[in-house]
Structures are given as structure tokens and as C-alpha cells.
A and B are shown apart, each in its own frame.
Chain A
Amino acid sequence: MVKQIAQTHEFLIAVTIVFLSIVIGSINPAYFSVANLFDMLRNVTIYGILAMGTLVVLISGGIDVSFPAIAAATSYLAVKILIATGYQGPTWLPFLLALPFGLLLGMLNATIISWFRLPALIVTLGTASMTYGFVLFFIGNLTLYNLPAGMVSYRTMSLMTVRDPLVGTSSLHPSVLLLGAAVLGVWILLRFTLIGRGIYALGGNREAAERSGFNVRLIEYVVYSLAGVLASIAGVIQVVLYRNANPAALMGTELDVIAAVVLGGASITGGRGTVIGAGLGLILVTILKSGLTLVGISSEWQKVAIGIALILGASIPAIRMARRNWPMTSTLLE
């Protein structure tokens, strides 16, 4: 069984993470501090929730680049409405308010992709542009700083605080619980439900899944709606943690999240991927980003590291598949 685990993509990523951690930690021991861990967790919370949504979409054989737009738009809308009504209460209402918008936008994606059988990349590119453009033009393009009091006080809550003489105080924000819930929920969905099976089936071979009796349309709706809902949750967390509602928030982050999920073993053509893998991929990307800074490489080169990681991470499964199919190894022979 150990040999089986050792052959998985996830194991490779885990080994890379350990290796990188040792290298970075030996150059800069601050890497191993609890404060650094909390910092990384704070970054990971928002991206992690987004990654879960992206994972589910990728496994189903689709792709969604509109989730940052959904996150920013739904949270901005929710905050704008709450400010207009003078709401000052607890934070769970903004979450609840943003959720239906996220669901709606996710369902919009699903409708166009599923009913008209259009390529998901281009459709979601379109909806992303529409969403950002709509909010920025019709709703407002100013960043809002006067958040309801409930959100402000939620920001300062902490599950655990650590005082480190070198790095200063760091706290563990309760939103990690939301991340935990999202991870657990998606894991259960993928592993223990029929719809989860259907998602893998759809990603593996759409026609076979249809003929096996899976309701492919329903699965596609579930997948894109889930991505939309998770995006809206992540968007509200983003507002809380950064203390402002920016309608253009998270722009450009879709690549990072997709890169993380794909690095973790999810195939862009669908049918493969695990929650653990996505988590590991995200950790790897986070380490690459923050670790490089700790080692002294300036942040401009971060993208190069992620780009190389992504290219390598994408090439390895492709080469494996080519080797498995030898001698019929022609590319595009799907």
C-alpha cells in the first residue's frame, strides 16, 4: 500500500513541500514559527475556499474563471445593501445575503455551459467580464470602508493568539473554521455521495456518464452553483479580513487558484483530483510565494516560480499518459 501511495501525484507534491520547507527553513528559521504558520493560514483561508469550488468544477471536466468576479461582486453587493439599510449586526447576515447572488451567478454559468454545450473557459471568461463590468459600472466602483460594525468586530476575533518576539503577534482567525467546513463538505460530497461519483464520471467521459444513467445536467448545475456559493463565502471573508469591500477585489487570482488545484493533481480535462491534493497544491503555491520572500528573493519573481511549477506540474501527468499509451502516443488523440 505504501508503494501505491508513493506513486500518486499527491505524494510527489507532499515530498516537494517537505523538501522546500527544509530548504527555506534552513535559510531562514523564522519559517518554522507559529506566527508564520498563522500568516500562511490567513492567506490560505480565502484561496482555500475558492480552491474547493474550483476543484469540484475541474473534476467534472469543466473550468471556471469567473469565481473571483463572483466573490467580489456578491460580497460588494451584500455590503452595499447592508450599508444602505444601516445594518450594524453580526456577520452571519452578510454571508447569508451574499450567498443567493453567488448561487444565481453560478447557475447562470451552469445554464449557458450545460444547455448550449459551450466551452466552459470562454463562457466563464464572458460571465467574469460581465460580472465585474456590471458591478463596476452599474453598482459602483468605489471601495467601501464603512463596513457594518458586526463585520469589523468579527475581524478582530481570534481563536488563538501567539506572541513571537521576532515576528510580533499573530492570531488565528475564526474564518479558518469556515475553510474547514468547506473542505470537509467538499470531501464528503466527492467521496460519499452519488453526485460526487457523478462528478468524477462526468469528468472522465461525459457520454459514458450519461449512458450510465447519471443526470449530467444536474451534476453540472451542482458543480457550478457550488463554485458560485463558495466564491461568495470567500468574498465576504475577503471583505472582513481586509476591512474593505472592493468591487474589483481578487482580480487576476483565478490563475493562482487554478494553478494550485492543478498542481495538486486535478486534471484539467477532468476525472481526477482530490481534496487532499488541492490542499497540498495550495500549500505548495503559498510556500512558493511567501517562502521566496523569506529567503530573500524579491516578490517580483514569485510568478516565475509559480509558472515553472505549473508547467512542470502539468508536464508530468502528460508525459505519464503518453508513456502509458505508447506507441499510440499522438497528442490530441483523446
Chain B
Amino acid sequence: MLKGEARKRGTRATRSVSSPTGSLGLDPHALFLLVLVGILFVLMSLTMPQQFLTVANLESMAFQMSEIGILTVAMALAMLIGGIDLSVTAIANLSSITAGLVMVHLTKPGDPSPLVLSIVVLGIVVAITVGLLCGLMNGLLVGRVGVPAILATLGTLTLYTGLAFGITKGRPVHGVPNPVLFLGIGKFLGIPMPLVVFLVVLAFVSIALNHTPYGFRVYLLGSNPTAARFCGIDNPGIILRTHLIAGLLSAITGIVTLARINSAHADYGSSYILTTILVAVLGGVAVTGGSGRVGGIALALVTLQMLSTGFNMLLLRFSGSNFFRDFAWGFLLLFVMVFSRISQQSAPRMWWRRILSRH
């Protein structure tokens, strides 16, 4: 019954429900992003061909953006149910630290390969367990106890970062055995491994959101929690599951990061929270929950990665080009949100505005 109604398009009430035709579709927002990506690609290839259009550069972009990508999917899930998860980077750090500690302390350089491999697997399992436990705590606090998501994840962020600092005494963990590094800097059929992981994650989450009852309920819950409750949806259960998945994805991010830079630190990536929110919002995730697609996130990710690379190349002569990126991201986040809000509010007379607002 419900799936059939989901196929209806056009009315505002059902616009937020994902269509079963998949995550890219003919959504105007996605189309806009696709065009933007195309324009940026052409622009950068024309102005800086020798720097931009090289395999090395494209690969480096793929490596960088995959971590943020997986983390963004975690954040986006939390946003879809109408909340937020400020602790994703902390969970990633804690997971990578625990995995790193296991791998470093249980292996020695001369150990036989099967032993090393099994310790690596153990490390990954430990990291995933940590991520799930952290997500469980988040889910229980927000779902069962009823603490608002901002506050709950603020508290858990502090707690998890504190644990990470306490365990490592503030020092980075490094020196993981070689097999794990393949995950971070290796290539599978020519595609960088982090990107492979990211694409797998995208596929799974997309299927979960678009083709399972769970995904359907996520969108309902995010659109209108009260109505969802009265429809018989187990709100606390969905919240719990979502935060569990977010914790899992954060742990995966931590593992990939550890594999890529061979180092885990309690403080890593604290500025990534803003970036993940920016990617999510640019990708079409509504800030109040209830709508947003995984495909949009992927496109937004590519857009921002190209912008970031572009900034780096242009501003190489100035010191602190990272700071310009912080400024640009903040500005862009505000701009995108304001623009979305404006195009939502009025009945626009301009034809191009109408196209953009028809989602």
C-alpha cells in the first residue's frame, strides 16, 4: 500500500518520500549539481590543464574526498531523521585509535603474514565494535531517553574525544602493519581503495533508504515525527538504528583514515563536522530532516572536492589557503541554505526558479 503511494509525484506531502527508481533520477536538485560539476570540471581543465587533468591529481582527489564522503553519509542519516550527529568525527577518531592500538601492540615487524593479517582483521572488528557502541549510546540518548540530538551528541562528542585523549595521552598512534595500508593507499582495478569503500557504502545506504521499510520510515520520521508516531512507527527504534548505522559508518571512516595516513589521533578532523554538514546540505539533505538523497551527496562531494582542489591550486602562493577554504565553506553553507529557503518560500515567477523549486 505505502509503496504505491510513494510513486506519486508532485504533491508536497509526498515529495520528500524517495522514489523507488533509485537515487539519481530526474530530481532537479541533482540535475543542478550535475551541471555544476560539469561546469567546474571544464573550467578547471581549461585554466589549469597541466595541474588538474592529471591522473595523479584525480586520484589524489578521489583519496581525499572518500573519507569525508563516508562521514557525510553518517551525518546525513542523522539529519534525515530530523536530528544531527556532532560526534561522528569523535567516533571515527576513537575507532581508528582503538584499531591502531590493537594492530600496533599485537604485532611485531618480523611476524608471519597470517598472524599479521588476523590481527589486522581483529583491529578492524574492534574499531567497528567501538563505532557501534558509540552509535548505540547516541541512539539510546536521543531515542529512548529523549535528549535533543544536538545536546546528546555534544555530550557524547566530548565523552568520546575525552576517551580518545585519555587512551592515547594526546599522542598519535602510528606504525600499523602493511596489509592494512592497502585499504588506504591501494587500488582495486585502478580505483583507489577509499573510493571503492565509499561507493560500496553509498550503494548499501542507497538501497537501505530507497528499498527497505526502514528507509521509508526514516523519511517519514524526519518529515513529521508526530504523524509517524501515530502511524505506528517505532520512533525510538528507528532513531536507534540510524545512530547505530552512523556509528558504524564513522568507524569505517576511521579505519580508512588510519589506513591512508598510518596515524590516528584524538584530535583529527575536528573541522570536518562543518564540511560534512555542508556536503549534506549542498547535496539536498533538508536541514530539518525528511528529504535528501544519497546521490545528491555524491555529487555535492565531487563539487566541493573540485572547489577545494581549485582553491589550493589558485592560492598556493598565499599562506594559509586552508583558511580561505574555511571561509568559503562557511559562506557557501549559508548561501546554499538561504537560496534553498528563498526558492521554497515564494511562488516564483521566473521559469528557472520554478524548475529549481519544483522538488
Contact = CB atoms under 8 A, between A and B. Distances in A.
Interface of A: 63, 112, 116-119, 121-123, 125-134, 136-138, 141, 252, 255, 258-259, 262, 268-269, 298, 300-308, 310-311, 314-315, 318-319, 321-322, 329-334
Contacts of A119: 287-288
Given A128-B330, A303-B166, 8 more contacts: A116-B338, A122-B337, A307-B158, A310-B154, A310-B159, A311-B152, A314-B151, A322-B146
B320 A136 contact: yes
Contacts of A318: 145-148
A135 to B, nearest CB: 8
A333 B287 contact: no
8 contacts: A116-B338, A133-B323, A255-B157, A303-B158, A308-B159, A314-B151, A331-B142, A331-B143
Contacts of A131: 330
B281 A300 contact: no
Given A133-B330, A310-B154, A303 B274 contact: no
B337 A118 contact: yes
A333 B226 contact: yes
B199 to A, nearest CB: 27
A261 B241 CA distance: 30
B229 interface: yes
Interface string B317-345: 01111011111111101100110011000
A315 B141 contact: yes
Interface of B: 82, 84, 141-148, 150-152, 154-163, 165-166, 169-170, 221, 225-226, 229, 235-236, 239, 270-271, 273-274, 277, 281, 287-288, 318-321, 323-331, 333-334, 337-338, 341-342
Contact of B158 (A63, A310, A315): A310
A128 to B, nearest CB: 7
B147 A137 contact: no
A282 to B, nearest CB: 15
A121 B84 contact: yes
Contacts of A127: 330, 334
Given A117-B341, A315-B145, A330-B229, A307 B156 contact: yes
Contact of B159 (A141, A262, A303, A322): A303
Q: Ordered nearest first, which 4 A-B pairs have the shortest CB separation?
A: A303-B162, A133-B327, A307-B159, A129-B330
A304 B239 CA distance: 24
A129 B145 CA distance: 32
A138 B327 CA distance: 10
B330 A112 contact: no
Given A300-B166, A314-B152, A123 B323 contact: no
Given A301-B162, A311-B152, A332 B226 contact: yes
A14 to B, nearest CB: 21
A300 B330 contact: no
Contact of A305 (B152, B162, B169, B277): B162
A311 B138 CA distance: 10
Nearest to A134: B327
A301 B235 contact: no
B337 A330 contact: no
Question: Max chain A CB contacts within 10 Å: which of B142, B271, B338?
Answer: B338
A129 B287 CA distance: 18
A133 B326 CA distance: 5
Contact of B229 (A252, A268, A303, A332): A332
Nearest to B170: A300
A125 B270 CA distance: 13
A126 B334 contact: yes
A314 to B, nearest CB: 5
Contact of B150 (A63, A315, A331, A333): A63
A259 B165 CA distance: 19
A123 B334 contact: yes
A303 B165 contact: yes
B320 A137 contact: yes
A164 to B, nearest CB: 30
A128 B338 CA distance: 16
Nearest to B87: A307
Nearest to B140: A315
B161 A332 contact: no
Contacts of B328: 133
A130 B330 contact: yes
Contacts of A63: 150
A24 to B, nearest CB: 19
Contact of B162 (A130, A132, A307, A332): A307
Residue among B144, B271, B326 with the highest chain A CB neighbour number at 10 A: B326
Given A129-B274, A259-B158, A121 B150 contact: yes
Contacts of A305: 162
B136 to A, nearest CB: 13
A292 to B, nearest CB: 11
A314 B141 CA distance: 9
A248 B195 CA distance: 33
A63 B321 CA distance: 29
Given A116-B338, A118-B341, A262 B151 contact: yes
Nearest to B327: A133
Contacts of A133: 323-330
A116 B333 CA distance: 14
Nearest to A317: B147
Nearest to A254: B154
B226 A116 contact: no
